[in-house]
Amino acid sequence: MGKAHAGAWLAAAWLGLLGLANLWGQEAQVIILSPHNESIRVEFGRAFSRWHEERHHQPARVEWRDVGGTTDALKFVQSEFSRKTNGIGIDLFFGGGLEPYLLLADKRLSSAYQPPADILEGIPLTAAGIEIYDRNFTWYAAALSSFGILQNTRVQRLTKLPLARKWEDLADPHLYGWVGAGDPRNSGTMNTMFEAFLQAYGWEKGWDILARIGGNVRKFDRISSTTAKDVTLGETAYAFAIDFYGFTQIAMAGRTNMTFVLPTDFTAINPDCISILKGAPHLETAQRFINFLLSEDGQRLWFLPKGHPQGARQHSIERMSIRPDFYRRYQGVSNVEFSPFDLPQNFRYDNSLARKRRDVMAALVGTLLVDTHPELKLAWQAIIRRGRPAAEVADLGRVPVTAEEALQLAAGPWKEAAFRNTKQIEWQNWAQQKYRRLTRGDAPPATHQP
Quick one: pLDDT at residue 445? 73
Confidence of residue 20 (pLDDT cuts 50, 70, 90): very low
Note whether 282 and 411 are same-domain residues: no
Same domain, 16 and 126: yes
DSSP 313-344: SSS----B-S-THHHHHTTTTSS----GGG--
pLDDT given for residue 11 in this prediction: 47
Q: Is residue 349 part of a domain?
A: no
* Each residue's pLDDT tens digit, 355-377: 899 999 999 999 999 999 999 99
Nearest to 432 by CA among 382, 389, 370: 370
9 pLDDT exceeds 80?
no
Residue range of the domain that includes 291 = 3-144+271-342
Contact predicate 379/215, CB 8 Å: yes
Dist. CA 226–CA 157, nearest whole Å: 23
What pLDDT score does 135 carry?
93
Asked, for residue 279, whether it belongs to a domain, the answer is: yes
**Helical spans, DSSP H, in 26-152:** 38-56, 70-83, 99-106, 117-120
Say what the pLDDT of residue 294 is. Answer: 97
Residues 94 and 56 in one domain: yes
- Residue 436 and residue 318 in one domain: no
Give domain status of residue 201, yes or no.
no
Final residue in a domain of this structure, among 342, 363, 386: 342
How much is the average pLDDT of 137-159? 94
Is residue 169 included in any domain, yes or no? no
327 with 406, same domain: the answer is no
Question: Is the pLDDT confidence value at 53 over 90?
Answer: yes
Which pLDDT does position 449 carry in this prediction? Answer: 58
Report if residue 390 sits inside a domain.
yes
Residue 173 CB-density burial (10 A; 0-12 exposed, 13-18 middle, 19+ buried)? middle
**Residue 222 pLDDT level (bands cut at 50, 70, 90):** confident
Return the pLDDT at 341: 85
Looking at the structure, do residues 281 and 390 belong to the same domain, yes or no?
A: no
pLDDT band (50, 70, 90) for residue 268: confident
Residues 321-335 have a mean pLDDT of 90
Whole-structure pTM over 0.95, yes or no? Answer: no
Higher pLDDT, 72 or 58: 58
Same domain as 36, residue 136: yes
Q: Are residues 56 and 128 in the same domain?
A: yes
Same domain, 331 and 391: no
Q: What is the pLDDT of residue 382?
A: 97
In-domain check, residue 388 = yes
| DSSP single-letter state for residue 287 | H
Reported as a pLDDT band with limits 50, 70 and 90, residue 336 is confident
Report residue 54: phi and psi, to 5°: -65, -40
Could you tell me which of 401, 350, 410 has the C-alpha nearest to residue 199?
350
Residues 76 and 123 in one domain: yes
Sign of the torsion angle spanned by Cα atoms 139, 320, 292, 63: positive
Domain limit, last residue, from 298, 326, 342: 342
**What CATH number corresponds to the domain at position 65?**
3.40.190.10
Mean pLDDT across 110-116: 97
pLDDT over 60 at 120, yes or no: yes
CA distance 280 to 259: 42
One domain, residues 140 and 11:
yes
Q: Is residue 151 part of a domain?
A: no
Same domain, 57 and 129: yes
- Does 17 have pLDDT greater than 50? no
Please count the structural domains in the chain: 2
Q: Is residue 163 part of a domain?
A: no
* Residue 218: partners with Cβ closer than 8 Å, 6 or more residues away: 177, 178, 179, 180, 230, 235, 236
Cα-Cα-Cα-Cα dihedral sign, residues 62, 68, 69, 70? negative
